[in-house]
Structure 1
Amino acid sequence: MARSHEPLIRLARFKVEELQKQMAELDRSKQALINQIERLEASVPEEQAIATQSKDGYLAYGSYAQAVIKRKDNIRASLSEVEAQSDTLRDRLSEAFQELKKYELLEERRLARAEAAVREAEQAELDEMASIRHRRAH
């Protein structure tokens, strides 16, 4: 009788689950970066209003604006890296999921063959019993 594919299924399922966890972590990182950009963008009008209230504030605003622009560029670069990692991980997850499905399908087929063999054996036994009864009756 063919060997069970359960160990392969467990291993493939573990791999899928680990990749899903990594994907969730990347999604959280991506959202955190987006939130940082939004917070920076929201702070600009506030700082502009403060800068117009004094000459020192007006002079300092230029440096602040440059720092915000640089920070947003850095965050966007990080966001691009996270998105690239997500794309790569999404491909790996898809492959792992296909592998899991392949092993599950193989196991289903193995079980179906085993059930068919049991049914055939039972039917052969019933046929033999019927044959014996028929011979005894005649």
Structure 2
Amino acid sequence: MTRSHEPLIRLARFKVEELQKQMAELDRSKGALISQIERLEASVPEEQAVATQSRDGYLAYGSYAQAVIKRKENIRSSLDEVEVQADALRDRLGDAFQELKKFEVLEERRLAHIERALRAAEQDELDEIAQIRHRRPN
């Protein structure tokens, strides 16, 4: 009789869960970066309105706008890095799912084989009982 694949299944399932946690963390990071960009973009009209109210504000707005543009570029760069990491992690997660599925299929086959063997043994036993009864005089 072959050995159970349960330890391999547990290990593969743990690996899948860990990779899923990492993916969720990357998704949270991506969401935070997108929120930062949205906040920066939302602040621009407010600053434009303030800048039009005074000459000093108007002069300072140019520096502010350049800083916002640079910050958005930096955030988008970070967002690109997160996407690269997420793509690589998706590949690893796909491989881990395939490995888990492979072990689960092997275990299903092993259990089905055991079930067939038990049914065959039971049938052999019933056949033997039937033969014994058939040979006995009534």
Q: TM-score range by the shorter chain?
A: over 0.9
Map 1:22-37 to 2 at 5 A. 22-37=22-37
Query: Structure 2: how far apart are the matches of 1:59 and 1:40?
Result: 19
- Runs of 4 or more, structure 1, over 6 Å off, are none
Code of the aligned partner of 2:23: M
Q: 2: distance between equivalents of 1:135 and 1:31?
A: 79
Partner of 1:57: 57
TM-score normalized with structure 2 length: 0.98
Q: What is the 5 A alignment of 1:1-138?
A: 1-137=1-137
Letter in 2 for 1:80: D
2:46 maps to amino acid: E
C-alpha distance in structure 2 between counterparts of 1:135 and 1:116, whole Å: 28
SS at match of 2:53: coil
Partners in 1 of 2:62 and 2:71 — Cα distance?
14
The TM-score, its normalising length taken from structure 1, stands at 0.98
d(CA) in 2 for partners of 1:112 and 1:137?
A: 40
The one-letter amino acid paired with 2:50 is I
1:135 offset after TM fit, Å?
1.1
Number of equivalent positions: 138
Structure 1 counterpart SS, 2:136: helix
* Structure 2: runs of 5 or more not aligned: none
Deviation at 1:137, TM superposition (A): 2.7
**Mind listing any 5+ residue stretches in structure 1 that lack a counterpart?**
none
Q: Distance in 1 between matches of 2:137 and 2:88?
A: 73
CA RMSD of aligned residues (A): 0.8
Q: Distance in 1 between matches of 2:2 and 2:17?
A: 27
